[in-house]
Amino acid sequence: MRILHFGDIHFWRLQLARDFYYPKRLLGIVNLAMRRRHHFPAQLAREAMMQIASEDADLVLFSGDMTTMSLEGEFRDAAKAFAPLYEKWGDRLVAIPGNHDRYSPTSVRRNYFESYFPHAAMPEGRRVLSRQFGEHLCVVGFDASRPFMIRSNGLLDRGLERELDHELGMIGETGRKVLLMGHFPYSYPGGLPGKWHHRLLRDEVLAELIARHQPVAYLHGHKHVRWCLRDTRTPQTLCLNCGPAGMASALTDSHAGWLTFELDQDGRLTGLTKVSLSSGGDIERKAVPIPSEI
């Protein structure tokens, strides 16, 4: 089975929200006007979505951050850009929200993410979604994103921990292999900790859950760099960061792109490839060595 993993496309609109008084909104709009809109050119996001739609994949996974400030207009733009992907892959496209899609309490309360992405909506009160593909594979996505007044953290609270533990336990009993998808990393290259204002709070609990349930891979984004690593706490699980799909950068691993790989029915992951758009509009593909189990 060929899988494409992308995230952090970050559609944006330079406009005031109804809840403009929320502290992060002021910072967000100034940052967008001064800096961010140059790093996430709208044309690049459109081009990336067109290229993704033409890729050959059995399954497409999106690990969050479709918008920048959870504005209704941004969700509308994102839904329009995702439409050809849903048309091609239907339920074989699995998406979860990132912290930018849960930007303020009002945007969460208004259910913009769920309204514009009904395929990705989780059942009322739940924050874990589980999809089975064939006899051997389950994709489990979870939503640890919630508004923080200033910071860009996520939180794996006790309710989400219990829900995720239960779901992974149930699937484990069936013997199916699991691809787990969240928005935030729990492990960084070089073993460095995430920045305090940007990391998943209680990420040590996620590492512990992963060590026990041993999914084949943990797919995420959030930190805008593509990488592949194994953490000594979770040696059975490959950590894959798809990098940003919509960002312009001189560094290939931070420039607009995504990951592809093959997964067989025994859970063997092969053919990992970093894909990025070149400035000439071409696609560059680079095979990535998979670190062996520690």
β-strand partners of 62: 6, 95
Q: With both helix axes pointing from N to C terminus, report the angle between 203-213 and 158-174 in degrees, rounded to the nearest 10.
A: 10
Which structure tokens are listed for 179?
A: 């691809």
Q: Left (φ > 0), alpha (ψ -120 to 50) or beta: where does 235 sit?
A: alpha
Which structure tokens are listed for 74?
A: 């941004």
Residues between 236 and 255 that touch Fe ion (CB under 5 A): none
Question: x/- contact string, 191-230, with Fe ion (CB under 5 A)?
Answer: -------------------------------x--------
Residues between 7 and 26 that touch Fe ion (CB under 5 A): 8
Nearest approach in angstroms of CB 32 to Fe ion is 13
The smaller minimum CB distance to Fe ion, of residues 146 and 176, is found at 146
Nearest approach in angstroms of CB 183 to Fe ion is 6
Residue 63 interacting with Fe ion (CB under 5 A): no
Residues between 75 and 104 that touch Fe ion (CB under 5 A): 98-99
How far is the C-alpha of 209 from the C-alpha of 80, rounded, in Å?
Answer: 36
Closest-CA residue to 217 (of 250, 252, 182, 244): 182
How far is the C-alpha of 166 from the C-alpha of 236, rounded, in Å?
Answer: 20
Nearest approach in angstroms of CB 123 to Fe ion is 24
Residue 65 interacting with Fe ion (CB under 5 A): yes
Nearest approach in angstroms of CB 65 to Fe ion is 4
Count the residues of the shown chain that bind Fe ion, applying the rule CB under 5 A: 5
Residues near Fe ion, by CB under 5 A:
8, 65, 98-99, 222
